[in-house]
Amino acid sequence: MQTLAIRLRPGDDLLAELDRLAVERDWEAACILTCVGSLTTAVLRMANSPESTSLEGHFEIVSLTGALSRHGSHCHIAISDGDGRTVGAHLLPGCRVYTTAEIVLGILPECRFLRTLDPETGYPELDIQSATYE
């Protein structure tokens, strides 16, 4: 595994920047190892909900996890407000960095992550392929 540390700046779109890196650097498979930072806008899709929820305020990123690929990404985030209330959900475009997002990524050259429609779930799910892309 190779690693890359990045810092996103105020106003950056968290998911858009991660997806941009995956496409720009032609990553077949990567993952988020750790992230600390803050948001002013959080756009989330809660569990089993077809609609997005937009939250405005000041939030700490307490967890960010996900699989990244130039073929598509799937990320979850947990954020907490000033009272420590925490919410977690699917990360959607539109999450805006407040002060910083300090992220360490792992790039997996031996894998390729595809998003393939799973007839059982009805969603494009992770399809893990080896470096030989069998």
Q: d(Cα 23, Cα 74) in Å, to the nearest integer?
A: 14
For residue 95, the 8-state DSSP code is P
Helix (H, G, I), strand (E, B) or coil at 77: strand
Name the pairing type of β-strands 2-8 and 86-91. Answer: unpaired
Mean pLDDT of 106-121: 96
Q: Which CATH number fits domain 2-130: 3.90.110.10, 3.60.70.12, 3.90.180.10, 3.30.1330.80?
A: 3.30.1330.80
For 78-93, the pLDDT digits (tens) are: 999 999 999 999 999 9
Nearest to 42, CA basis, from 10, 8, 105, 89: 89
Of the pLDDT bands very low, low, confident and very high (cuts 50, 70, 90), residue 134 is low
For 4-27, the pLDDT digits (tens) are: 999 999 999 999 999 999 999 999
Q: Which residue has the tokens 């894998």?
A: 111
Name the pairing type of β-strands 74-80 and 123-130. Answer: unpaired
CB atoms within 10 A of CB 128: 11
Look at the pTM and tell me if it is higher than 0.85.
yes
pLDDT of 131 above 80:
no
Name residues whose C-beta falls within 8 Å of residue 28's C-beta, 6 or more positions apart in sequence. 69, 70, 71, 108, 109, 111, 112, 113
Domain definitions of the chain by residue range: 2-130
Q: What is the pLDDT of residue 23?
A: 98
For 57-70, the pLDDT digits (tens) are: 999 999 999 999 99
